[in-house]
Amino acid sequence: MTASDKRLLISAPGKVILFGEHAVVHKKLAVAASLGLRTYLDVTENTSGQCHLKLPDVQVDAAWPLSQLDIAVERESLEQQHPSDMPDTLKQQLETLMGETTSVAQKQAVMAFLYLYIILKNEKGSSSSNFGLVIRARSTLPVGAGLGSSASFSTALATALLMVFGHLPEAFATSEQKDPAWLETINRYAFKAEQVIHGNPSGVDNAVATFGGALSFRRGEGFSQLEGCQSLRLLLTNTKVPRSTSALVAGVGAKKQKYPAVVDPMLDAIDGISLRCVEVFKRLQTGEMDTHKVTAELEELVDINHCLLHGLGVSHPSLETVRSVTETHGVKTKLTGAGGGGCAVSIIRDDISEETLNVVTKELQTHGYDCYQTSLGGVGASASILRDIQDEAWIESADRHTLEKLVARP
């Protein structure tokens, strides 16, 4: 990327766990898929001699002279280390650059940016630019709702910096087909950013954000891309009820230890649901099942999976309220993520009208919940070259529809 009248729009999706929550902790299969809700980065170069990072979602507006970011590092050693094991000297330098941050979210986001910037700018063969850089971010994902907002940001950020410093070719933005090696590179650095933010993430969220579509995963075995996953309509409901993932996971573990003859078969049943989902997508791809049959079967699996999770003690009255409201209108719903509050996901059949969805949404909103109509299984990390936008801060006021159209265009 060189300074010119063009700019980049980078984006990456959030994720939803379709099946396998909690059971995955006990080495059962889980299925996750990308969402239509995304994080967007507007990237421009200029002659300011500064690097400017604007993250309005977490109230970050920071700028550094390029000379302050010219820090020499041993890339190979950093590649092999967890970010928490970086040399003390580098850690002190990055903390100094980070300056005053008033929240954990701000600290994590800025540190992830600085860490990737330093690694990629110093990587052997990188085309370091003498021009200033401005990155503005915007997300349509709710933060902290279990929908992969941090991984979406990490993946978009990694993609942006890889392109800025010449590790990804311009063809990544112009080619319809993405070279798998490009995506593997993005995923590797997105995982590094996720490690900065979360410490020891599973890597699933950034993989979904990078590759898009759906994937299955099992602890200790990595993940597999699911062929045949197609775009499905979803209604996501954020109850905004806070919960402790670690406490919920520990609760299921305690039940398993106390009632192994009861809980083990429940976990096996959840494993079977995930396996059935994989099979359904395969049958869709081969033509053995059509879209109507796939949606109908996914609805049944959603219902069964939620009931099992409820039996494991990880539902919440707010989630049962969402289930009750949507069930009244013929829409199947399950909790997604850790449970205990958080988000619910509803499968929207093609015969569910917009009018019905509006009624459901309004009723859920009367309970104080936030609702998002979106899609399942869309594209992963994406880049577009923009040549016709002059407004410097356009992304801060652009609506979601405009952003989605820009991502879709060649």
Residues annotated as catalytic are: 150, 205
68, 97 contact by CB (below 8 A): yes
Q: Rounded CA gap, 43 and 63, in Å?
A: 14
Classify 81 as helix, strand or coil: coil
Residue among 367, 318, 368 nearest 344 (CA):
318
3-state secondary structure (DSSP) of residue 232: strand
Q: What share of the chain is helix, strand, coil (3-state, %, to 5)?
A: 50, 20, 30
| 3-state DSSP assignment of residue 30 | strand
Q: Considering only CA atoms, which of 178, 176, 109 is closest in space to residue 137?
A: 109
167 close to 123: Cβ distance less than 8 angstroms: yes
Cα separations (Å) of 38 from 118, 141, 208, 378?
Answer: 25, 6, 12, 10
The token duo for 405 is 């159209």
- By DSSP bridging, strand 50-55 and strand 60-65 are antiparallel
User: Using N-to-C axis directions, what is the helix angle for 317-328 and 354-365, rounded to 10°?
Assistant: 150
Answer yes or no: are the C-beta atoms of 194 and 151 closer than 8 Å: yes
Eight-state DSSP code of residue 142: P
Are the C-beta atoms of 305 and 19 separated by less than 8 Å? yes
